[in-house]
Chains A and B, each alone.
Chain A
């Protein structure tokens, strides 16, 4: 049996993950862990607007207790966790989410059109090949810091669509 490991902390690593993700034997390696929480699939698309960006990742709670994502911060700019909602009239909006609970043995997926981190007031645009530093604060696991590679939108979409099914 061949086991492939990959790390999503570098652009090349992410592309390698995308390439091998179709393989049935992929051991997913978190980009960072804290307590019972593991962060996977971190990536940010290159900015189309100079001062705005987004960030996606996966949080796996392997613990026996629920944990709560309380805060996202980044030296790149203001970071805020958003969800996307559509009202009865058909207006779709992003709404700030102060905190998200992750049940024991469950996974939080950030994805386009769903939970995502919005970067605003970026001091510099996110350029492909860059790494954007991010710190997440959890109620139980505490702080976890990692670097999210900046990819093209298509690379981001491909990476996120190849995640294991929720």
Chain B
């Protein structure tokens, strides 16, 4: 089958499309413009907290050092949560699986349990593995975790209920997105959809956020 030669008009459209791609690439090199991100852009960026907690494998995890150079999605939750916590994790995991590996590999997901009494290392690891084996689970004492929360301008977690086993935790429900400048410019509240993550994560990865 003979393929028709491109017309002058189609070449012009091709050139215009190429220029648009170049422009778009140029856009990605800058930090996103206001309104471009679907997450909630903070009025002022939050510096990445410096803390060390313990992984589900029992190793110390220096958050600042271990996540340097990555887009880091930090969340505080617990495994007895039936709704917000697993939905956040499931949505992020599903989107990361669908993104190109060169983008997904530049993202780390860290979940700090606000319920260290019930979230044993084994339980937390099993829960995270239900979403993605690469997700980092961190534990610390209630005081240590609340200190981290306060350093990020988040409220301390609150135990709700009197039982030793049957209680819920109130906690900040947003995911903080730290970019490669080691600051969080945007957070993702409960209700963030997979389409929102799929839209924003490449922007968070590719944009030039400057330095601290």
B170's partner among A82, A93, A120 (CB-CB below 8 A) is A93
The answer on a CB contact under 8 Å between B90 and A153 is: yes
Cβ contacts under 8 Å, A84 to chain B = 83-84, 190
Q: A-facing mask of B150-180, CB < 8 A → 1, else 0? A: 0000110110100000101011110000000
Cβ contacts under 8 Å, A119 to chain B = 82
Cβ contacts under 8 Å, A52 to chain B = 79-82
What size tier do the contact residues of chain A reach?
A: 20 to 34
Cβ contacts under 8 Å, B130 to chain A = 46-48
Give residues of chain A (32-76) contacting chain B, Cβ–Cβ below 8 Å: 45-50, 52-54
Cβ contacts under 8 Å, A154 to chain B = 90-91, 94, 194
Q: A-facing mask of B56-95, CB < 8 A → 1, else 0? A: 0000000000000000000000011111101101110010
With A53-B82, A112-B84 already in contact, the answer to whether A91 and B191 are too (CB < 8 A) is no
The answer on a CB contact under 8 Å between B83 and A113 is: yes
- Give B192 Cβ to nearest chain A Cβ, in Å: 9
Q: A-facing mask of B38-63, CB < 8 A → 1, else 0? A: 00000000000000000000000000
The answer on a CB contact under 8 Å between B90 and A86 is: no
The answer on a CB contact under 8 Å between A92 and B79 is: no
Interface residues of A (CB under 8 A from B): 45-50, 52-54, 82, 84, 86-87, 89-94, 112-113, 116, 118-121, 152-154, 157, 161
Interface residues of B (CB under 8 A from A): 79-84, 86-87, 89-91, 94, 123, 126-127, 130-131, 154-155, 157-158, 160, 166, 168, 170-173, 190-191, 193-194
28 contacts between A and B (CB under 8 A): A47-B130, A48-B86, A52-B79, A52-B80, A54-B83, A54-B86, A87-B170, A89-B155, A91-B158, A91-B170, A91-B171, A92-B84, A94-B82, A112-B84, A112-B87, A112-B191, A113-B173, A113-B191, A118-B82, A120-B80, A120-B82, A120-B166, A121-B166, A153-B91, A153-B94, A154-B194, A157-B90, A157-B194
